[in-house]
């Protein structure tokens, strides 16, 4: 029998679910990921089965301005409004996700794919919410859309976070259910806190970054990050190997899926100037290969962070959950430039843990501020704390621990 994992988003969003699927395979389970068809080769290339959905955020013809708004929403109200506008796109994939759950023994779902919960309940099989960050209510720490930024009641910050994710799929689920079954699902409401032995939650997060809250339901499992394993040994381009050997360790600069081509000239110029002021070498990722750079800088395409980051002096990025995790695990200092959503939480947590600089938001970013951050991470205290955090994170195997929770259900 098959386990189906429902997930959506960018390449970085899907990586933790590949890690979870790889761990389930090690436990002898047959597993597949259901996601947008544009990710098929990426998923199958890592040894995981795939169920293609005809639409994803790359192919669903989403208004570019709306997508940009979603990736640059820098406060909870903007986030809620943008997610509300985007909810119609979730309906495109809902039926196909429901179909992907047929003939399965268990469904694992991203919080943005709640059809998984209702489909599994209808089919009489277990379901597991698999979240890429902590999102269940606790009195101990604010949610990741408020941490370090807003002094709001903790419970309210979780209401905001869960409302955004529920909003993204609620309309699609309701519309599909009415059309397919002629009525609304029984007890139709947000399922994120409906956690019990048959419906546990698993979380990708290190307990050394955000400790597991003591007031969580016993069926919420957080045992470390989910790091994807490469199925083949990575062979770096010769130009990259030569560059790494030709001088002191460089600083990595890359902003993942939030980077916009329209900002390329500005961001490249800013990076060049900041590195020059700081007297550092640098590697620029994801900004194109045809850019003119000084000899002490190199442009690269997509590379495994698990291979690259521990070879860096420090890592400068947007603060995506997965990129932040890779930086923490590498044991090098972080310089995080948050653009939106949960990125501010990882930036503030990095600073609070003493492994990175104070966050510089994208709106406040200048070459001078970035250069000062590059100099700040030269601190022996930051380097030692980053090194220790990396060692601690490498003692965890979150993907395998959570896979065991899932495997026990079937």
pLDDT tens-digit map of 285-313: 988 888 899 999 999 988 999 999 999 99
Size of the chain in residues: 410
Residue 67 has pLDDT above 50, yes or no: no
Query: Among 63-72, 257-266, 326-335, which stretch is predicted with the lowest mean pLDDT?
Result: 63-72
For residue 328, what pLDDT band results from cuts at 50, 70 and 90? very high
pLDDT of residue 200: 98
Between helices 76-100 and 115-123, what is the axis angle to 10°?
Answer: 30
Residues 367-392, mean pLDDT to the nearest whole number: 97
Residue 82 has pLDDT above 60, yes or no: no
341 vs 146, more confident: 146
- How does pLDDT run across 116-174, given as a tens digit for each residue? 999 999 999 999 999 999 999 999 999 999 999 888 999 999 999 999 889 888 988 99
For residue 396, what pLDDT band results from cuts at 50, 70 and 90? very high
Q: Which residues in the chain are classed under CATH 3.40.50.2000? A: 2-227+396-407, 238-393
The answer regarding whether domain 238-393 maps to CATH 3.30.1490.100 reads no
- How does pLDDT run across 232-271, given as a tens digit for each residue? 788 899 999 999 999 999 999 998 867 677 788 899 999 9
Find tokens 């985007």 and name the residue.
Answer: 86
Residue 60 has pLDDT above 50, yes or no: no
Q: Where are the beta strands (DSSP E) in 177-250?
A: 201-203, 220-222
50 vs 290, more confident: 50
User: pTM score > 0.85 for this model?
Assistant: yes
What letter does residue 132 receive in the DSSP assignment? S
pLDDT of residue 54: 83
Phi-psi category of 393—alpha, beta or left, where left has phi over 0 and alpha has psi -120 to 50? alpha
The domain defined by 2-227+396-407 folds into: Rossmann fold (3.40.50)
Tell me the percentage of the chain whose pLDDT exceeds 70: 90
Query: Among 8-12, 105-109, 111-115, 214-218, which stretch is predicted with the lowest mean pLDDT?
Result: 8-12
Looking at every residue in the chain, the average pLDDT score rounds to 90
Residue 29 and residue 4 in contact, taking contact as beta carbons nearer than 8 Å: no
pLDDT of residue 74: 53
pLDDT of residue 161: 93
Virtual CA dihedral for 250, 255, 261, 263, nearest 10 degrees? -80
Kind plus residue range of the DSSP H or E element containing 4: strand 2-6
Beta bridge partners of 109: 6, 129
């Amino acid at each position: 029998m098959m386990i189906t994992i429902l997930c959506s988003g960018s390449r970085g969003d899907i990586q933790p679910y590949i890690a979870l699927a790889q761990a389930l395979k090690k436990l002898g389970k047959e597993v597949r990921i259901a996601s947008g068809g544009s990710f098929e080769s990426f998923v199958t290339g890592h040894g995981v089965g795939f169920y293609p959905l005809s639409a994803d955020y790359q192919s669903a013809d989403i208004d570019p301005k709306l997508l940009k708004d979603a990736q640059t929403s820098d406060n909870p109200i903007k986030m809620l409004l943008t997610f509300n506008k985007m909810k119609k796109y979730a309906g495109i994939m809902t039926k196909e996700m429901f179909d992907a759950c047929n003939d399965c023994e268990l469904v694992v779902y991203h919080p943005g794919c709640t059809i998984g919960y209702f489909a599994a309940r209808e089919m009489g099989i277990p379901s597991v919410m698999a979240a890429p960050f902590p999102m269940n209510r606790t009195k101990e720490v604010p949610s990741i859309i408020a941490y370090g930024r807003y002094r709001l009641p903790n419970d309210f910050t979780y209401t905001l976070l869960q409302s955004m994710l529920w909003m993204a799929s609620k309309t699609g689920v309701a519309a599909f259910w009415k059309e397919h079954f002629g009525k609304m699902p029984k007890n139709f409401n947000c399922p994120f806190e409906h956690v019990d032995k048959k419906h546990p939650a698993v979380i990708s997060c290190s307990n050394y970054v955000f400790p597991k809250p003591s007031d969580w339901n016993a069926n919420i499992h957080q045992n470390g990050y989910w790091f994807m394993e490469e199925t083949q040994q990575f062979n770096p381009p010769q130009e990259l190997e030569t560059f790494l050997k030709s001088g002191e360790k460089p600083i990595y600069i890359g902003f993942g899926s939030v980077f916009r081509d329209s900002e390329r000239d500005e961001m490249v110029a800013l990076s060049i100037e900041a590195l020059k002021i700081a007297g550092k070498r640098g590697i620029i990722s994801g900004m194109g290969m045809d850019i003119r750079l000084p000899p002490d800088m190199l442009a690269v395409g997509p590379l495994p962070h698990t291979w690259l980051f521990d070879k860096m002096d420090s890592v400068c990025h947007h603060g995506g959950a997965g990129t932040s995790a890779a930086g923490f695990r590498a044991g090098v200092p972080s310089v995080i430039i948050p653009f939106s959503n949960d990125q501010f939480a990882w930036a503030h947590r990095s600073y609070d843990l003493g492994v990175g600089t104070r966050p510089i938001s994208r709106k406040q970013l200048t070459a001078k501020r970035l250069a000062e951050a590059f100099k700040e991470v030269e601190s022996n205290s930051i380097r030692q704390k980053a090194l220790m955090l990396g060692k601690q994170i490498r003692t965890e195997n979150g993907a395998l621990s959570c896979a065991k929770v899932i495997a026990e259900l079937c």
